[in-house]
Amino acid sequence: MLDVTERDVSLTEWVELIAEYEHNDIPIINIKEDGVTYDAIFVGGGAGGRFGGSYLTAMGGKALIIDAWPFLGGSCPHQACVPHHLFSEAAALLERERRLAGKLWFRQPGELKVSMLELIEAFRNLRNSAHAVMNFQTKSQLGVDYVLNAKATVIDPYTVEVAGRTFHTRNVVLGMGAHQRPLHLPGGDLPGVYDYATLVEDLDYEPTRCVIIGGSKVAVEYGSFFQAAGVQTTILTRSPLLTTKSLHHVDEDLRRYVVDNMRTSGIQILEGSTPIAINGDGKVEEVVVKTAEGDTVRIPCDFVYNGTGEKPLSDLASQWLGVKVGARDEVVVDSRMRTSVDNVYAIGDLIGGPMEMFKARKCGMTAARNIMGQDYEFDFSEYPDFLHTTFEVTWVGLTEDEAREKYPNVVTLQMPPKGIDPSTICLPASDGTMLYAFLRPEDSGFQKAVIDGDTRRIVGVHHVGYGAKDAFQYLDYLMSRPEGLTVDDMAEMNELFLNPEHFIQLSRLRAGSPNLVDL
Amino acid sequence: MLDVTERDVSLTEWVELIAEYEHNDIPIINIKEDGVTYDAIFVGGGAGGRFGGSYLTAMGGKALIIDAWPFLGGSCPHQACVPHHLFSEAAALLERERRLAGKLWFRQPGELKVSMLELIEAFRNLRNSAHAVMNFQTKSQLGVDYVLNAKATVIDPYTVEVAGRTFHTRNVVLGMGAHQRPLHLPGGDLPGVYDYATLVEDLDYEPTRCVIIGGSKVAVEYGSFFQAAGVQTTILTRSPLLTTKSLHHVDEDLRRYVVDNMRTSGIQILEGSTPIAINGDGKVEEVVVKTAEGDTVRIPCDFVYNGTGEKPLSDLASQWLGVKVGARDEVVVDSRMRTSVDNVYAIGDLIGGPMEMFKARKCGMTAARNIMGQDYEFDFSEYPDFLHTTFEVTWVGLTEDEAREKYPNVVTLQMPPKGIDPSTICLPASDGTMLYAFLRPEDSGFQKAVIDGDTRRIVGVHHVGYGAKDAFQYLDYLMSRPEGLTVDDMAEMNELFLNPEHFIQLSRLRAGSPNLVDL
């Protein structure tokens, strides 16, 4: 056991400690006071547990976070959001190099050589630095107790055992996350089959030909990265991409722009296809697939990526406490994150989709507030969303089609304007698409605001480009207010030009009119 | 005279027309109805005139826009914001290549060869495409009358002559913009001396060694571009960079991060220096400078950039109408954009700083609303701001120092945290700084939120990185509301993680506490 409670562990020390302890089972203990009864023990120190424990501590409560890894933050900095963003940044840079090859300072076509393995190794080499921040911040800045590198056993809602010790609590908050659903088809466990987690953990060769099974957000994102990194990629998907039920409010114009762009990158997308088997002698060599036309096709490959979605890790929760579990393996909770068992809460990916950061963290906060006596509900049925291809794609609110079903007088502001060939217009030029605007105008992005013309409220915004993701957090907040966000409000704003999304100025060009029309 | 009124001119036709007409003086006429009395004639079709004319037309008024160029949009798409953004995007990409040289797919040190001239030519070749959008949108989508490629003469507030015709109006709105102040020192007019306008118009060789005279925003931005493009750059500035009075609310920590980063790029910054002369035999060969220490130094160079700031083009306004002009050559207006002469308004860069897009456009809108009988004021004393080095730098509200003067209990949330060596922490990793985070952590950016701990309001936010510019438009709006924006509001938001600025989650980590403290 390593007790760091009394030590002032620096960031660099944490990096070294984590590197050492990830290869052993020795618990790391940071507990300010022995023998206390906690207000909550958070089982799982990912986003939900860490934010829940921090919020509860900030409120003056006593929280203990337990995680099996030697660091806090969960899968995000270890296998999920952080490497995903690293890979997506690489994908955007590499795709720009490919599309502008031979122009300006960009290398000639074929000259760019990329090692995907090297990038993954760069991530592996430094990911402990991100982990270290989580441990440092949570201990030294936020003052939260934790036990790391040790598996918890929940005895009942008031008793948790870990690292050979028994801890008492008034509530248990379960946040054990989710993991990739395995591929249920012959050859699904052959070497050479990867998912987002095993990719960063285990990849030890340079793939050249990839087949992705599944059409999830993760499949779209990683497929774009593989292709940009020079790995010829085929996506096998039952439904057309970005139409799955788990992705709501995807505008059809945006969807088409994004999917066409993936095809432009060279990704082969087989819609309506069903994988039959993965074959190979000791490692994957081909995927057998039944196409939409009913043909059986063999796709040679040395790399298969499982993009079929994740399953909440609810088995232990069920065994320990008998909490109710739903049809998709999720622990069932109410809007206060209470499970079916008194004093047991569940948060994050464990309660099902959307498996997004905002939800995990706000679940943790919601549990903390209720545990501390505040009556606080969290409704995550509506939220802003994004994904990366080689573009950043963001949206919030209604699609144009959804708006037309709901409102009689729908107005859109968009670029390129409806009916204009994108290759003849360099707009939406903006941060990140300036070179495209002047060298390949059709790649300068797409944006659309959807407005209820009667109330003048902006009811949906949709963006393909770069640099708008951060803004969509605030657009979501503004649009969700009871008073909403009108084109007249937008016309009053102080734009920072060239703004990545041009909604403020497009709104201003129309706002003078009592009768809004498309732009 | 080319009358396009009855023609449906497409985007591609506009590109060709502008290319042809920029070399002649033949007016382009788009006037729906002859002999009307306009509500306003906008003299100058830049951002202010175009948005003013469009807003007034949308309100049901009659507007005529006149511009001496064969396109609308003014200097922005021709010489200013658009090329600046293109160059800044290039600078960010090139600097990343240099800093990560030899790593991953990046070329070895010294292998990257950049032609600045080629990039400028790429801009010149396609800028008419941006111009075409302005003409197309204003005629075909916004329905505003205009006369282009012809110089106006204002006879009185009710009479304007252009293209051999006389137009009648109830008001005149002046928006003739600004231009670079010339260098008043020996050799200031030698070939090889450029400013933002002549750079894109005239450059015809590949510079290798640059001296920038002046420490304005433009000097910082173009200097960063020149250096990233491989042109060794020296900036001569009286005051330390980013401390000029024209740039308000620059936080000292942000300033230091930005200026240190410029030095890391290899830019030489001579603070407290005074240029004495530019010498050369037929073109610039050296700049003679008196340093802060009082020494006289000769800096060899083949390229001098005038970054001393702009002067409003108020001479004609004064001659035509006798409007009052201020000490910095600006036409003096009130908060309704009214000049000292009845029925004469002035807008945009012509009325002085800040010479920013939001101000120009909203000035135009303000004039339009007042002309159409609405009592509408525009106060631009406070606004969000940004600049580019090889980073995007954004800020709004108070600096930490300003906040400490105003509030007794100031709290900051920042990354890297105070007192932490940036090279030991990969945060703020985010879109655009992921590769830096894993390969050169000290280049992953800087961010700080400044909070009045008593009201819990966020009173200033400051960011160095990428992707936050768009968000700052909305942060400005939210912070400027009478109720402000509190850390508790932020804790409720749905972040899109990894968000470029991490203010939402940093706020949430603290929001539980009744007594806020630094993070």
Sheet holding B268-271, edge to edge: B193-194, B303-306, B209-213, B232-237, B268-271
Of A17, A64, A76, A148, catalytic: A76
Cα–Cα nearest to B176, from B27, B330, B349, B30: B349
Separation between Cα atoms, residue A496 and residue A341, nearest integer Å: 50
Q: Is the pTM value of this prediction over 0.90?
A: yes
Optimal mutation site among A395, A458, A470, interface B, most CBs of chain B within 10 A = A470
Look at residue B334 in the predicted model and tell me its pLDDT: 98
Dist CA B263 CA B255 (whole Å): 12
Cα Rg of chain A (Å, integer): 25
> Is B76 in the active site?
yes
Task: Round the average pLDDT of chain B to a whole number and report it.
Answer: 97
Pick from B395, B470, B518 the residue to mutate for testing the A interface (most A CBs within 10 Å).
Answer: B470
- Measure the CA dihedral A89/A90/A91/A93, to 10°: 90
Element at A336 (helix H, strand E)? none
Residue B365 structure tokens: 């809108």
d(CA A358, CA A364): 10
Look up B446 and say whether it is catalytic: no
**How many CB atoms are closer than 10 A to CB B438?**
26
Nearest to A498 among B12, B81, B115 (CB): B81
Of A10, A11, A358, the CB nearest to B495: A358
d(CA A380, CA A397) in angstroms, rounded, equals 13
Q: Is A72 labeled as catalytic in the residue annotation?
A: yes
Helix (H), strand (E) counts: chain A: 15, 26
B391 is catalytic: no
Beta bridge partner(s), residue B305: B194, B212
Single out the catalytic residue among A78, A84, A131, A502.
A131
Which of A217, A480, A496 to mutate: most B Cβ within 10 Å?
A496
Greatest C-alpha distance within chain B: 71
Burial degree of B23 (CB within 10 A; 0-12, 13-18, 19+): exposed
Query: Both tokens of residue A65?
Result: 């976070």
The minimum CA-CA distance between B425 and chain A, rounded to whole Å, is 6
State how far the Cα of A369 lies from the Cα of A39, in Å rounded to an integer: 11
> Angle formed by the axes of helices B217-228 and B252-264, to 10°?
30
DSSP state of B46: B
| Torsional sign, CA A64, A125, B507, B494 | negative
Q: Shortest CA distance to B378 belongs to which of B344, B324, B338, B323?
A: B338
Question: How close is the nearest chain B Cα to the Cα of A476, in Å?
Answer: 8
Q: How high is the pLDDT of residue A246?
A: 80
A-chain residues within 8 Å CB-CB of B361?
495, 505, 508
Instruction: Kindly report the number of other CB atoms within 10 A of residue B239's CB atom.
Output: 11
Distance (Å, rounded) from C-alpha B382 to C-alpha A362?
33
Nearest-CA distance from B210 to chain A in Å?
A: 20
Is residue A76 annotated as part of the catalytic site, yes or no?
Answer: yes
Assess whether the previous peptide bond of A183 is cis (omega < 30° from 0): no
The catalytic position among A56, A64, A72, A516 is: A72
Locate A314 and state its tokens: 């609810």
Name residues whose C-beta falls within 8 Å of residue A33's C-beta, 6 or more positions apart in sequence.
none
| DSSP alpha helix (H) spans, A440-502 | 469-480, 487-491
Is there a cis peptide before residue B186, judged by omega within 30 degrees of 0? no
Bridge partners (DSSP) of residue A414 are A448
- Spell A27-56 as b/e; 16+ CB within 10 A means b: bbbbbeeeeeebbbbbbbbbbbbbbbbbbb
Could A434 and B85 be called an inter-chain contact, meaning their C-beta atoms sit closer than 8 Å?
Answer: yes
pLDDT value of position A245:
79
**Looking at the predicted structure, is the pLDDT value of residue B174 above 90?**
yes
Residues 6+ apart with CB under 8 A from B120: B83, B199, B200, B203
Q: How far is B195 from A229, CA to CA, in rounded Å?
A: 40
pLDDT at B245 over 90: no
Q: Which DSSP state fits B266?
A: T
DSSP string, B214-249: --SHHHHHHHHHHHHTT-EEEEEESSPTT-STTS--
What pLDDT is recorded for position B431?
Answer: 87
- Residues 6 or more apart whose CB falls under 8 angstroms from that of A495 comprise A504, A505, B357, B358, B361, B473
Contact between B11 and A424 using a beta-carbon 8 Å cutoff: yes
Q: Could you report the per-residue pLDDT of B138-155, keeping only the tens digit for each?
A: 999 999 999 999 999 999
Cα(A229)–Cα(A463) distance, integer angstroms:
24
Span B13-22, pLDDT tens digits: 999 999 999 9
Query: Quick one: closest CA in B to A475, which residue?
Result: B474
CB–CB of B122 and A104 under 8 A?
A: yes
Contact between chains at B89 and A435 (C-beta distance less than 8 A): yes
Distance CA B210, CA B299 (A): 9
Phi, psi angles (nearest 5°) of residue A254: -65, -45
Mean pLDDT by 10 residues, chain A (519 residues): 96 97 97 96 98 98 98 97 97 98 97 97 95 97 98 98 98 97 96 98 98 96 98 97 90 98 98 98 98 97 96 97 98 98 98 97 98 98 97 98 98 96 93 96 97 98 98 98 98 97 98 97
Taking an 8 Å cut-off on Cβ atoms, the answer to whether A123 and B438 are in contact is yes
Q: Is B447 exposed, middle or buried (0-12, 13-18, 19+ CB in 10 A)?
A: buried
Are B494 and A358 an interchain contact pair (Cβ–Cβ within 8 Å)? yes
What string of DSSP letters covers B316-355? HHHHHH---B-TTSPBP--TT-B-SSTTEEE-GGGG-S--
Position B97 pLDDT exceeds 90: yes
What 3-state class would DSSP assign to A314?
A: coil
Distance from CA of A68 to the nearest CA of B (A): 22
What's the average model confidence in pLDDT over B324-346? 98
